[in-house]
């Protein structure tokens, strides 16, 4: 199935990937990680990438973030090259490990990108205050990362990713290490934050319910070489508006139907009894 891109003709896509290939040269030969990837992500759209381990999700994220280069095809971020978008700080990144600086307080970690880009100290302080409030950590501003739980550290990382009010957030399994309850709470918070800031999000996950809960569209990938197998639009009825997604949605019929649709897409369209390797169905 080809994707239906919900961009209007005069809007510039947040991310546009056209015919992107990625081949890694290794000592034992070539690894074809991505093959002919086509994907356009609209401003403000929430996209999840899901697929078996090794199908190229992180590779695609790294190409968008200009941490690596495609072997072929073109990739633009807000109409610019990935490199220019990185230089212009057009996106925030949160990956699986929180990656906080242990010698800096929570507030100082969140302030770091602002410091690096010359935001004055008064404005920095008020932005950090607002961000910590948004992720529910106002009372922990002066703590150090090792005094926080893993979930709290992850929230600090998300606040830091949001510090520069990016129009795009790149998140590679940011909740992978969290317990189920914290994870659901973080999902609800991310839905709220992304709706509030209007940021587009590219989110990698192994959890089908997580992808369904968060996304406007779920991109299902297949491995070796990584291809887009199907793009599944989330039809969640009245709850489809991101701002309206609440805990109740997880128990709605439409939610389960979408979980089933993504599961079947992962299996190439056929009904299945067990999940593929590396994909959680919880
Ligand atoms: N720097 C590299 N050099 C060589 N091969 C690589 C490199 N990075 C990734 N690969 C290969 O590319 C393929 C895709 O890897 P990638 O990390 O993108 O998968 P993934 O979908 O993120 O997997 P996971 O779900 O396990 O995180 C794999 O076969 C991997 O071994
Ligand atoms: Mg990965």
Pocket test of ligand 1: the residue of 59, 175, 276 to mutate, having most ligand atoms within 8 Å of its CB, is 59
Report the DSSP beta bridge partners of residue 17. Answer: 39, 75
Per DSSP, 129 falls in state H
pTM, 2 dp: 0.86
pLDDT at 7: 45
Tokens of 259: 């979980």
User: Is the pLDDT at 279 greater than 70, yes or no?
Assistant: no
| Atom number, ligand 1, closest to the C-alpha of residue 52 | 25
pLDDT at 24: 95
pLDDT tens for each residue of 223-278: 889 999 999 999 887 666 777 788 888 888 889 999 999 999 998 866 665 445 55
Tokens 């957030």 found at = 169
Proximal ligand: closest to the CA of 62: 1
83: alpha, beta or left? (left if phi > 0; alpha if psi -120 to 50): alpha
If you average pLDDT over each of 100-109, 179-188, 195-204, which comes out highest? 100-109
Quote the Cα angle for 115-64-180, to 5°. Answer: 80
Tell me, in angstroms, the distance from the centre of ligand 2 to residue 58's CA. 4
Residue 8: is its pLDDT beyond 70? no
The ligand 1 atom at the shortest distance from the C-alpha of residue 55 is 21
pLDDT of residue 157 exceeding 70: yes
Minimum-distance ligand 1 atom for the alpha carbon of 62: 18
Is the Cβ–Cβ distance between 174 and 161 less than 8 Å?
no
Rounded CA gap, 131 and 165, in Å?
A: 10
């Amino acid at each position: 199935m080809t994707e239906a891109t919900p961009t209007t003709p005069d809007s510039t896509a947040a991310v546009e990937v056209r015919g992107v290939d990625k081949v890694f040269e290794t000592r034992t030969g070539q690894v074809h990680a991505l093959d002919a990837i086509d994907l356009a992500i609209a401003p403000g759209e929430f996209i999840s990438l899901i697929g078996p381990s090794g199908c190229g999700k992180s590779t695609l994220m790294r190409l968008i973030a200009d941490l690596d280069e495609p072997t072929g095809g073109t990739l633009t971020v807000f109409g610019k090259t990935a490199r220019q978008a990185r230089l212009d700080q057009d996106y925030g990144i949160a990956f699986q490990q929180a990656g906080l600086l242990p010698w800096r307080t929570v507030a100082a970690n969140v302030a770091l990108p602002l410091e690096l880009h010359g935001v004055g100290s008064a404005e920095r302080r008020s932005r950090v205050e607002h961000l910590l409030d948004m992720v529910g950590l106002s009372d922990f501003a002066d703590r150090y990362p090792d005094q926080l739980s893993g979930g709290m550290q992850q929230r600090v990382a998300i606040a830091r990713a949001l510090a520069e009010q990016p129009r795009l957030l790149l998140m590679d399994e940011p909740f992978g290490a969290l317990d189920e309850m914290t994870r659901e709470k973080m999902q609800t918070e991310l839905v709220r934050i992304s709706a509030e800031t209007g940021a587009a999000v590219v989110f990698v996950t192994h959890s089908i319910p997580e992808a369904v809960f968060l996304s406007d569209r779920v991109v299902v990938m297949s491995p070796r070489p990584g291809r887009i197998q199907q793009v599944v639009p989330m039809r969640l009825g009245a709850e489809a508006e991101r701002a309206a997604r609440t805990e109740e949605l997880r128990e709605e019929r439409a939610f389960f139907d979408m979980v089933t649709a993504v599961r079947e897409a992962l299996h190439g369209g056929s009904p299945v009894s067990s999940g593929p390797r590396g994909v959680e169905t919880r």
